[in-house]
Amino acid sequence: MTKITYIEHDGTSHTVDAPEGLSVMEAAIRNMVPGIDADCGGACACATCHVYVDGDWAGKTGERSSMEESMLDFATDVRDTSRLSCQIKVTAELDGLTVHLPEHQG
């Protein structure tokens, strides 16, 4: 199991055990982490699973695809560390990953 920590805008922290193969979005939904809506169910078509990857982890979560880039145009307050969490696959390498949740989501 890979541990992932989601930090809400107000600082509330949720650490979950995520099986490999799920997405970071799916692990949040399964554990009822607030702040991730995932309206499209992970099809990279809604941008309501927007997260900010904690600085140290940006290199390990991979690059945004061009489709993800396009969808992020619909998100608010997009930053360099913005990702769509449905596009990040949970792997053992991501054990300890921390992501921050945007203020206006959920």
The contact set with ligand FES (CB under 6 A) reads: 25, 38-40, 42, 44-49, 71, 84, 86
Residue type present at position 29: I
Question: Coil, strand, or helix at residue 16?
Answer: strand
Report the side by side order of strands in the sheet with 50-53. 13-18, 2-7, 97-100, 50-53, 82-84
Signed CA dihedral, 10, 47, 50, 70: sign only = negative
Compare residues 11 and 79 and give the one whose CB is closer to ligand FES: 79
Q: In whole angstroms, how close is the CB of 19 to ligand FES at the nearest point?
A: 18
Q: In whole angstroms, how close is the CB of 79 to ligand FES at the nearest point?
A: 17
How far apart CA 104 and CA 106 sit, in angstroms, is: 7
Q: In whole angstroms, how close is the CB of 73 to ligand FES at the nearest point?
A: 12
Compare residues 11 and 72 and give the one whose CB is closer to ligand FES: 72
Compare residues 37 and 54 and give the one whose CB is closer to ligand FES: 37
